[in-house]
Amino acid sequence: MRRFSAALLILALVLGGCGKESKDEKTAEQEFRIPDSLLSPLDGYKLTRDYYHPISGGVMANARFELHYPPGDIARYVAVKSFGAALDAYKKISRDIGAPADGRVYMIGSKDLDEYTFLTRKEWWYYGSVTGDTIYFEPLDIMLKRTILEIGITNKIAQVALNRRSKGQIPNWLREGLASHVAEEGVILSYQIVQFRKEGIYEMNPSPEDMEKTLEEAYDMPSTRIAFYNAYLMAENLLSISDMGHAMEFIDYLGEGKDLDTASRKAFGMDYSSLLSAVKAEVATEQ
């Protein structure tokens, strides 16, 4: 925090004409005031750790999240914004799905795309990878430029919560679809597949089995983004014929060790194959 405040002070002195003899340092310090908009977010984060090093980067943590980010003033600014987005997401996700972790969720903001690819084996278009209670993000400043920072953070935290609630047994399509629903990602997903639909060489309505494999591997951008969109539509269709409460019941049954058919019958009154047919048939009409 001291380094961040000092940088702002220097900037204010320069903009204020600190080299003019008509204003001495004392006057400049009296006139300078750090904007409340920069201080107030940190005040509300209830941080238990706020460490920064000009070479190794920084760590920002409270009881719910721990964010690691690279060095640089821009990275620090984006980290503050990202931490706020995570706290906002926590409220929504805890209400709709449940707490994402018993303790903290760890978020790693990569230094650059090369580091991100090394850590996750994913490319730039796949903005975050979940492993247990840890989320590896592509550079957060890139996500901010792509206007997906808040949506992306919400989506991945929701996936952590869904994995936890189902004890890792939730189908890939449902995890991706519900996370996109909670993050309100539908418009972005629909835009992302326009080019693939126009090219006319991709399967726009893959089978649930193909979607599971595609979402598990996530190495081909066109097929993966098409699967993301289909998963989102399937989740929306599921919620239209049922509701989030029954979806959570289904996930709970899976977490208890019940198979897909049993969990589906208990939650939705139909076996899993019938459930897929019900939601997938609706997706086909929207393609």
pLDDT tens for the chain, 287 residues long, are 444 444 444 434 433 444 444 444 344 434 444 454 554 578 889 999 999 999 999 999 999 999 999 999 999 999 999 999 999 999 999 999 999 999 999 999 999 999 999 999 999 999 999 999 999 999 999 999 999 999 999 999 999 999 999 999 999 999 999 999 999 999 999 999 988 888 888 899 999 999 999 999 999 999 999 999 999 999 999 999 999 999 999 999 999 999 999 999 999 999 999 999 999 965 654 55
Residues 135 and 201 in one domain: no
Residues 153 and 262 in one domain: no
* Residue that is last in its domain, among 135, 166, 197: 166
Q: Decide if 12 is inside a domain.
A: no
Q: Decide if 18 is inside a domain.
A: no
Q: Is 98 left (phi over 0), alpha (psi -120 to 50) or beta?
A: left
Residues 159 and 43 in one domain: yes
* Residue that is last in its domain, among 150, 166, 182: 166
Residues 153 and 256 in one domain: no
Q: Decide if 238 is inside a domain.
A: yes
Return phi, psi of residue 182, to 5°.
-65, -35
Residues 205 and 245 in one domain: yes
Q: Decide if 237 is inside a domain.
A: yes
Residues 98 and 69 in one domain: yes
> Which candidate, 142, 87, 158, places its Cα nearest to that of 110?
142
* Residue that is last in its domain, among 166, 195, 212: 166
Q: Decide if 200 is inside a domain.
A: yes
Q: Which domain holds residue 89?
A: 35-166
Residues 51 and 82 in one domain: yes
Residues 106 and 124 in one domain: yes
Q: Decide if 75 is inside a domain.
A: yes
Q: Say how many CA atoms lie within 13 Å of 158 toward its Cβ.
A: 28
Residues 207 and 189 in one domain: yes
| C-alpha pair distances (Å), 101 with each of 28, 85, 106, 134, 158 | 47, 17, 10, 10, 11
Rounded CA-CA distance 237/96 in Å is 17
Q: What is the pTM of this model?
A: 0.84
Residues 115 and 174 in one domain: no
Residues 260 and 174 in one domain: yes
Q: Decide if 14 is inside a domain.
A: no
Per the structure, how many domains does the chain have? 2
Q: Decide if 13 is inside a domain.
A: no
Residues 44 and 162 in one domain: yes
